[in-house]
Structure 1
Amino acid sequence: MTPGAVTRIGWGDLPAAVRSAVEEIVGDRVVEAVSQPGGYSPGTADRVRTATGRRAFVKAVNPALNPDSPVLHRAEARIAGALPATAPTPRLLGCHDDGDWVALVFSDVAGRHPRTPWRSDELTRVLDALQAMAVALTPSPVGHVPTAADLLARDFAGWQRIAADPPPRLDPWARAHLDELRAAADGGVAALTGDTLCHVDVRADNLLLDAAGTVTVVDWPWACRGPAWLDTALLLVNVRLHGGHDTEALLRRLPLTADVDPAALTGVYAGLAGFFADSARRPPPPGIPTVRAFQQAQADALLPWLAQRLG
């Protein structure tokens, strides 16, 4: 399952003052805007071209579309502005924030999302890029971000919430192993130590590959300080979701995960599965009708893997 089908506004739907502010950041008049697929924001996600051929990527949103999205855009502006040139990320050109609309303007990346199910060559390129990114972002170049443990502690308590109020259609194996899953998720939180700046939302639709195979990691609002292996471990959830690869063998082979305590990895996957299963039963957030189905699909992909890892 691939993210998408959000009701997204486009460049032409932005107020004139916001468009003018973006054009001032780009330094020219926008004459073309092409909306980009994927993701879960109901705001704009446009590749724009100006009268003199300059290109940029623009994302803009206000609270009327979704009350949380402007907060995430502001967080991403702070983080993206502090990322070093050595990180495989687009450059933040500027931010417009009038208290209602928040617009971020990035350098344009002439790329596409990796194909899913994942192709072996593209997966190798992305995994290599994540390894290089972990090196470039250790120690964290951004000081004003939470630790991974602080950021994910509430999410990883999903099995506790499920145990207190089990949904009628809870996976039978999960229902029979709630105590194990809760304990594993607690251990997962404890394992999230480190001083690497982690993206924490690495999946196919947050990655771009250009014609030369260069990888760019986009959308950084959730960045935090954690272990160097975290983003690689999280990408394998997306690989597991789409199938076609032995994620267990990858964990054992990849340099960033090969020497990690297996219990720590199991704990992180247990915490994520609890978050997805707990969140999927909630009403969808405003303007983002498809996210709950995507969360359920990720829970469904993780639970058989956890059954295998927990024995």
Structure 2
Amino acid sequence: MPVERAHWEDLPPTVRAAVEAHIGPVQHAHTVAAGVNSGIAAVLESPNGSVFLKGVPLDHPQIHTQRRETLINPYLPNTSPRILWHVEAEGWDLIGYERISGRHADYSPGSPDLPLVAAAVRELQSTECPEIGIKLAEDRWKTYAGPAGVEQLAGTALLHTDLAPHNVLVADRAHLIDWAWPTRGAAWIDPAVLILRLMEAGHSASDADAWARAQFTSWGAAPYDAVDAFSEANTHAWDEIAENDPQPWKRRMAQIAHEWLTYWHRSPAS
């Protein structure tokens, strides 16, 4: 459920004071549109520089996603912004992030952002997931598994699992942001997730598959049956998401997941 967006000026004085204890007096605050699950998302300017502020009320169901971000941040590769401080004050949970001045990635065919996105994901692919209690891939998707099950999703890689273009900022390089769903599993799962987003941006299933094979060793080496099991489970997951909250983009993602599954079933097993 989306969180009603607050502005910096809407926060209680004690909450603003708790933030300013870390960054100094806020001279300017700009609310950003991205991050529908954030109660507040703003760039704050102070004499000490700028930070990105992200937060939710402590009693909101999405609080667990923010706490996962806090938990995983120290282990992230350099493609992701660092958490500078974390405070709780008067019913709010607030994170101050290193600010990255960039734009959301363009995933359309031929986009010059695609090599940058691939480089960021490859860096992540080489990052082993710490054993700190985050969700296991085989557990996360088992509810949606078909008869084959999802045991083949197990692995030791750190996965982002939500590589939508609004979760990638392009500046000097591509930066992976919004770590609400970190997962431990097989490294090829993130390329599988990215493929659906490429299709959303206009790539055909075959072109997205070929691009991923050229970019990610893990995807080229992924067992056919394992990808099949994940693709089926992920399709069921998107169906449920679209049924529970039928926003047009969610219904479109469910459709794309079905298109991908059809393509994969027609592909030769390898």
Question: Is TM more than 0.5 here?
Answer: yes
Name the SS of the counterpart of 1:256 in structure 2. Answer: helix
2:174 corresponds to which of 212, 215, 240: 215
Question: Which of 1 and 2 has higher RCO (CA within 8 Å, sep 6+)?
Answer: 1
Mark the runs of 5 or more structure 1 residues left unpaired by the alignment. 158-181, 285-290
Q: Spell out structure 1 runs of 4+ moving beyond 4 A.
A: none
- Amino acid of the residue matched to residue 71 of structure 1? H
- Partner of 2:27: helix, strand, or coil? strand
The one-letter code sitting in structure 2 at the alignment partner of 1:262 is Y
Paired residues of 2:35 and 2:41 also in contact (CA < 8 A): no
RMSD: 2.2
- Please state if 1:55 is matched with 2:50: yes
Q: Tell me the distance in 2 between the aligned counterparts of 1:142 and 1:77.
A: 15
User: Match of 1:111, as an amino acid?
Assistant: G
SS of the residue corresponding to residue 49 of structure 1 reads: strand
Q: 1:296 is matched with which residue: 251, 256, 261?
A: 251
For residue 20 of structure 2, the aligned residue among 19, 23, 29 is 23
- Deviation of 1:216 (Å): 1.0
Distance in 1 (alpha carbons) for counterparts of 2:54 and 2:38: 10
What is the identity, as a one-letter code, of the residue corresponding to 1:224?
T
Task: From 109, 115, 122, give the equivalent of 2:113.
Answer: 122
Contact 1:58–1:105 (8 Å) recurs in 2? yes
Identity %: 25
TM-score normalized with structure 1 length: 0.77
Q: Distance in 1 between matches of 2:200 and 2:72?
A: 28
Helix, strand or coil at the partner of 2:192: helix
1:203 alignment counterpart: 164
Shift of 1:101: 1.1
Alignment match, 1:92: 83
Deviations 1:249-271 (A, max 9, x none): 12432322011112222322221
Q: Aligned equivalents of 2:262 and 2:40: distance in 1?
A: 40
Matches within 5 A, 1:81-160: 82-84=74-76, 86-98=77-89, 100-117=91-108, 119-135=110-126, 137-138=127-128, 140-154=129-143, 156-157=144-145
Q: Does 1:236 pair with 2:227?
A: no
Give the equivalent residue in structure 2 for 1:8: 5
What code does the residue aligned with 1:204 have?
P
Paired AA for residue 209 in structure 2:
E
Structure 2 unaligned spans of 5+: none
Matched-pair contact (CA < 8 Å) for 2:138–2:154: yes
Equivalent-residue separation in structure 2 for 1:33 and 1:119 (angstroms): 36
Q: Does 1:34 align with 2:27?
A: no
User: 1:256 — aligned with what?
Assistant: 218
Please say if residues 31 and 40 of structure 2, whose CA atoms lie closer than 8 Å, have aligned partners that are also in contact. yes
Partner of 2:264: 309
**1:60-71 alignment to 2 at 5 Å?**
60-62=55-57, 67-71=60-64
Which residue among 228, 231, 241 is the counterpart of 1:269?
A: 231
Cα distance in 1 for residues equivalent to 2:236 and 2:142:
11
Distance 1:191 1:236 in 2: 19
C-alpha separation in 2, matches of 1:17 and 1:232: 43
